[in-house]
Amino acid sequence: MGLFDKKKEAKTEQSKGLREEGQSAEKQPENKQGQGEGKVYIKGAGGTIVTKSILNGTSKLKWLFRQESDHGNGWVAFGDKDSQEYVDDANNMAIVDFNTLANIEPTVVNVFYMPVGSDLEFCSDKTGKYFVDTRTGKEIREPVKHPAQIGFEKNLQFLNQKTYPAEFFQNLFTASPKVKVIEAGVADFPTGEVVLADPIAYLGSRYETVLDKGIPEGSYPVELALCLSRIAGLRIAAARLLISSRQPVRYEIAMPKGKKIEDLRKPGVFTYFGVDTGLACFADGKLSEESRIFFEKWQKENPGKNKYIDYFQALFQESYEAHPEFQNRGGSYLEWKLPESGERAFLFSSGMGDGIYSGYWGLDAEGEAACLVALFMNPEYF
């Protein structure tokens, strides 16, 4: 067995030894290459195990591995002159911020987002600097994207289709290791006219999306499908307005007022609603107008103030404190009682944030609306 293989076997024991001896980034040796206060390539990159020979410049980076770790990011770096005896001694290792290593050899930034189990050899020749995956022989010369970025790009292509299989929505609102489904609140529809909109940027404006299909007057529960992702955190993948107890058998995209499904894809026909503040909502047309009037008055009385920071933020915080297990800090959803009428619109964060999204009617066997879904994410990508 060669030195390379022995080092791979040794790295877990080395990280244990460092933790047992209390080695930390604050106790790292002085770097002769002057990288103590270098450039920050990746914020919050976390701790990396690096041989002191790399840090003091007596060796150059040669091997880079990523292991499962409860401490730091799991990356381990060895130098080209490190012997087995050298790396067996925990005193020859240090935990430093990943950016310290990046200031010594910036090429490591390209592979930072590679997964646990990655096993790389650093190469430098007349073609440039790059890594080789020792398991596949593949050369890595371009930055590897963050898994969340890869998921985001796939998701972008997935959204706003004309329809999806009924099974997709059924699975979306079925509990699984990646999805938690909660009944989060109620929305009131005194007129039955349905509005999808960003509640801060567009509700009550000409940019809101009023749907062509109405629903019976009444109050309806709102369910949220929460995506529980290691790479994207807790996100609202979709919100569902439950209109009846009947089972949807098919889904179709929700068309704007005055347009039918036959108008889909015609010039000037937009089925989606825009989000510019990371929030969306289910609201009745009457409550949309009430919201507009309220905020016109509120802003006259509060010149220069921000609708979110100075009004909604405290309400979202109250919602978070009432149900912290299902929300991100600061609040992910809000059953908003409009100050004048006391009737409720339901506000919720929009998946990965700003963008354009569509609503989908879940239709029963008779073609009647059983639910309305605002779709933001396919959890499979995250």
- 144, 160, 178 — which closes off a domain? 144
pLDDT on residue 10: 46
pLDDT classification of 3: cutoffs 50, 70, 90: very low
Which SS3 state, helix, strand or coil, does residue 236 take? strand
CB atoms within 10 A of CB 139: 13
Q: 374 near 365, Cβ under 8 Å?
A: no
Q: Are residues 17 and 157 in the same domain?
A: no
pLDDT classification of 18: cutoffs 50, 70, 90: low
Closest CA to 141 of 110, 187, 165: 110
pLDDT on residue 187: 98
pLDDT classification of 21: cutoffs 50, 70, 90: very low
Q: Are residues 291 and 363 in the same domain?
A: yes
Average pLDDT, the chain: 91
Write out the E strands in 67-148. 75-79, 93-97, 119-125, 128-133, 139-140
pLDDT classification of 37: cutoffs 50, 70, 90: low
Q: Are residues 73 and 220 in the same domain?
A: no
* Average pLDDT of the segment spanning 118-131: 98
Q: Are residues 240 and 334 in the same domain?
A: yes
pLDDT on residue 38: 87
Per-residue pLDDT of 269-278, as tens digits, reads 888 999 999 9
Structural domain including 248 reads 149-381
Is 105's pLDDT higher than 50?
yes
Q: Are residues 173 and 81 in the same domain?
A: no
pLDDT on residue 271: 86
* Helices and strands counted in the chain (H then E): 8, 19
Q: Are residues 229 and 338 in the same domain?
A: yes
pLDDT on residue 265: 80
Strand partners, 373: 240, 360
Q: Are residues 162 and 131 in the same domain?
A: no
Q: 209 near 272, Cβ under 8 Å?
A: yes
Q: Are residues 121 and 231 in the same domain?
A: no
Q: Are residues 204 and 69 in the same domain?
A: no
Q: Are residues 166 and 135 in the same domain?
A: no
* Average pLDDT of the segment spanning 306-333: 97
Which SS3 state, helix, strand or coil, does residue 149 take? helix
Rounded to an integer, what distance in angstroms lies between the CA atom of residue 298 and that of residue 314? 16
- 144, 161, 183 — which closes off a domain? 144
Q: Are residues 31 and 89 in the same domain?
A: yes
Percent helix, percent strand, percent coil in the chain, to nearest 5 = 30, 30, 40
* Average pLDDT of the segment spanning 76-94: 96
- 98, 117, 144 — which closes off a domain? 144
Is 12's pLDDT higher than 50?
no
Q: Are residues 109 and 205 in the same domain?
A: no
Number of domains in the chain: 2
Is 41's pLDDT higher than 50?
yes
